Amino acid sequence: MSYQERPLTCQDCAQSFSFTAEDQAFFAEKGYTNDPKRCPSCRLARRNRRPTDGFGSQGQSRAERQLYPAVCAQCGKGTQVPFQPSGTRPVYCSDCYSRRTAYSGR
Ligand SMILES: [Zn+2]
Ligand SMILES: [Zn+2]
């Protein structure tokens, strides 16, 4: 199967660019059935701005951070920590934690 270079218009900058035979082969290999909507330079610019955009919609939206309730070992205040308190190590609220790390300079 051979491909023929086709002229396309970029959706972003409205310039015409050629969808080369090489690109078409590459797209077919990747399983993309749609024509590219942007010229190579706009595609590159977009990719540099946002790593996960456009093609390949692998859901990577696990932004929710689980917080666990804990009691500060220093001041006894209730707080929340981003890890499960094991009970073997003291947990500090953000105030005490930053004060401690400031103190013991390590
Ligand atoms: Zn463009
Ligand atoms: Zn505290």
Q: State residue 85's pLDDT score.
A: 85
pTM, full prediction: 0.42
Q: Which ligand is nearest to the CA of 17?
A: 1
The SS3 assignment for 58 reads coil
Ligand 1 centroid to Cα of residue 3, in Å, is 22
The SS3 assignment for 20 reads coil
Q: State residue 60's pLDDT score.
A: 47
Ligand 2 centroid to Cα of residue 42, in Å, is 50
Ligand 2 centroid to Cα of residue 45, in Å, is 46
Give the mean pLDDT per block of 10 residues along the chain (106 residues).
90 95 93 92 84 51 75 93 85 89 66
Q: State residue 14's pLDDT score.
A: 96
Q: State residue 103's pLDDT score.
A: 66
Ligand 2 centroid to Cα of residue 91, in Å, is 8
Q: Which ligand is nearest to the CA of 36?
A: 1
If DSSP states are collapsed to H, E and C, what string results for 60-102?
CCCCCCCCEEEECCCCCCEEEECCCCCCCCCCCCHHHHHHHHH
Q: Enumerate the domain spans of the chain.
A: 6-49, 68-103
